[in-house]
Amino acid sequence: MLSGMEVAESVQCPFCGQAFELVIDTSVPSQRFTTDCEVCCRPFEVAAECEPGEIVSLEVLS
Protein backbone atom coordinates (compact mmCIF):
# COMPACT_ATOMS: atom_id res chain seq x y z
CA MET A 1 0.00 0.00 0.00
CA LEU A 2 1.30 3.43 -0.93
CA SER A 3 1.60 6.20 1.63
CA GLY A 4 0.11 9.63 0.97
CA MET A 5 3.43 10.89 -0.40
CA GLU A 6 4.07 7.95 -2.77
CA VAL A 7 2.52 7.98 -6.24
CA ALA A 8 2.71 5.17 -8.81
CA GLU A 9 3.36 6.32 -12.38
CA SER A 10 3.74 4.31 -15.55
CA VAL A 11 6.98 4.77 -17.51
CA GLN A 12 8.27 3.24 -20.72
CA CYS A 13 11.77 1.78 -21.11
CA PRO A 14 13.70 3.85 -23.68
CA PHE A 15 15.48 0.70 -24.90
CA CYS A 16 12.89 -2.09 -25.24
CA GLY A 17 9.68 -0.05 -25.02
CA GLN A 18 8.15 -2.06 -22.18
CA ALA A 19 5.87 -0.09 -19.85
CA PHE A 20 5.94 -0.65 -16.08
CA GLU A 21 5.13 1.28 -12.90
CA LEU A 22 7.52 3.21 -10.71
CA VAL A 23 6.63 4.46 -7.24
CA ILE A 24 7.80 8.04 -6.74
CA ASP A 25 8.19 9.64 -3.30
CA THR A 26 6.58 13.05 -3.87
CA SER A 27 7.95 14.49 -0.61
CA VAL A 28 11.18 15.13 -2.58
CA PRO A 29 10.49 18.17 -4.84
CA SER A 30 13.15 17.56 -7.49
CA GLN A 31 14.82 14.20 -8.00
CA ARG A 32 16.91 12.22 -10.48
CA PHE A 33 17.61 8.54 -10.12
CA THR A 34 18.61 5.47 -12.11
CA THR A 35 16.38 2.43 -12.33
CA ASP A 36 16.58 -0.83 -14.27
CA CYS A 37 13.99 -1.97 -16.80
CA GLU A 38 11.95 -4.88 -15.42
CA VAL A 39 12.18 -6.66 -18.80
CA CYS A 40 15.54 -5.96 -20.52
CA CYS A 41 17.35 -4.97 -17.27
CA ARG A 42 19.10 -2.00 -18.89
CA PRO A 43 19.53 1.01 -16.59
CA PHE A 44 18.01 4.37 -17.44
CA GLU A 45 17.64 7.68 -15.68
CA VAL A 46 14.40 9.21 -14.46
CA ALA A 47 13.90 12.89 -13.58
CA ALA A 48 10.84 13.89 -11.53
CA GLU A 49 9.47 17.20 -10.32
CA CYS A 50 6.94 16.80 -7.52
CA GLU A 51 4.63 18.58 -5.14
CA PRO A 52 3.45 16.74 -2.03
CA GLY A 53 1.14 13.95 -3.23
CA GLU A 54 1.48 14.84 -6.93
CA ILE A 55 3.97 14.28 -9.75
CA VAL A 56 4.25 17.52 -11.73
CA SER A 57 6.55 16.11 -14.42
CA LEU A 58 8.29 12.80 -15.06
CA GLU A 59 10.95 12.35 -17.73
CA VAL A 60 12.71 9.18 -18.84
CA LEU A 61 16.29 9.74 -20.04
CA SER A 62 18.35 7.14 -21.89
Computed over every residue of the chain, the mean pLDDT equals 95
The answer to whether residues 17 and 46 touch, using CB atoms and an 8 Å cutoff, is: no
Q: How many domains does the chain have?
A: 1
Question: pTM of the full predicted structure?
Answer: 0.87
**Within a domain: 52:** yes
Strands 6-12 and 19-25, bridge-based pairing? antiparallel
User: In whole angstroms, what is the distance from residue 39 CA to residue 20 CA?
Assistant: 9
User: 3-state class of 48 per DSSP?
Assistant: strand
**Within a domain: 10:** yes
Residue ranges making up the domain that contains 53: 6-61
- pLDDT tens-digit map of 1-18: 677 799 999 999 999 999
> What percent of the chain clears pLDDT 90, i.e. is strictly above it?
92
DSSP state of 38: T
